[in-house]
Amino acid sequence: MDGFTRFALYYAPPDGPLADFGASWLGWNPRSGRKMAHPALPGLPMPIAEITREPRKYGFHGTLKPPFRLKPGFDVSELHNATEALAATLPPVLLDGLKLSKLDSFLALLPEGDTTQIALLAARVLEALDGFRAAPEETELEQRRAAGLSPRQEVLLQQWGHPYVMEEFRFHLTLSGKLSPTEADAVAGHLRPVIQPLLPRPFRIREICLFGEGQDGRFHHLHRYTLSG
């Protein structure tokens, strides 16, 4: 697990139809470390490669702890051991299901029903592993601020290195980059009939995953941990 520049803790669907479709849709399989051919989906307003350009490098996932560089003095084996120990204390999460929705200016799969437990899981992962996170560089902070942050989001950015955590957290599995409202509606209209049969109901999160950003600039699946608390 050496040779990676940043790490993140994600939910990634287990092997199966949803994981396979997500890898194909984005054009990147983080588990095999291979590019994937996009599915044939006629009628889209633009090529799938263009729709998915921004999220492709991260792979199909839901963020729990956003990407971070390791603090000097730590190595990835220590992060792995700590994540394994943490997962043994965390219970699985049960949600009603997933739905295809617009989130701000992009498309994503969002949870249905009460999201309290997934928010608590993300908060535990964020906080418990934060000792491994190196402080972000000023250029990273400015990139986050460029989107326009609320005063509370600025506080979260300073404390956790990311503005959309804790009470600002919204669990989602990203499916597109930024789209206009018209583009988002058109893409969703073509994508929904294909992805709807693949969406689990109920939706169970039984594992969390460690991902690493490789020298190729893409995130790779490094390890899967069972939530057994």
Structural domain for 210, as ranges: 6-135+171-226
Q: Tell me, what CATH number does 75's domain have?
A: 3.90.1140.10
The reply to whether 202 falls in a domain is yes
Distance, C-alpha 1 to centroid of its chain: 19
Tell me, what's the pLDDT at 62? 98
The reply to whether 109 falls in a domain is yes
Indicate the SS3 state at residue 6: strand
- Output the CA torsion 7→127→136→211 (10° steps): 10
The reply to whether 56 falls in a domain is yes
User: Tokens 């090529």 map to which residue?
Assistant: 47
The reply to whether 163 falls in a domain is no
Kindly state the DSSP code that residue 73 receives in the 8-state scheme.
T
The pLDDT tens digits along the chain (229 residues) read 678 999 999 999 999 999 999 999 999 999 999 999 999 999 999 999 999 999 999 999 999 999 999 999 999 999 999 999 999 999 999 999 999 999 999 999 999 999 999 999 999 999 999 999 999 988 888 989 988 999 999 999 999 999 999 999 999 999 999 999 999 999 999 999 999 999 999 999 999 999 999 999 999 999 999 999 9
Indicate the SS3 state at residue 223: strand
What is the dihedral sign for C-alpha 16, 198, 101, 106?
A: positive
Kindly state the DSSP code that residue 69 receives in the 8-state scheme.
P
Tell me, what's the pLDDT at 114? 96
The reply to whether 1 falls in a domain is no
Number of domains in the chain: 1
The reply to whether 143 falls in a domain is no
8 to each of 28, 117, 192, 219, how far by Cα in Å?
17, 20, 28, 9
Tell me, what's the pLDDT at 2? 72
181 to each of 81, 107, 116, 185, how far by Cα in Å?
44, 10, 29, 6
Structure tokens, 164: 């959309």
Q: Please give the backbone phi and psi of residue 3, each rounded to the nearest 5 degrees, phi first.
A: 90, 15
The reply to whether 184 falls in a domain is yes
The reply to whether 14 falls in a domain is yes
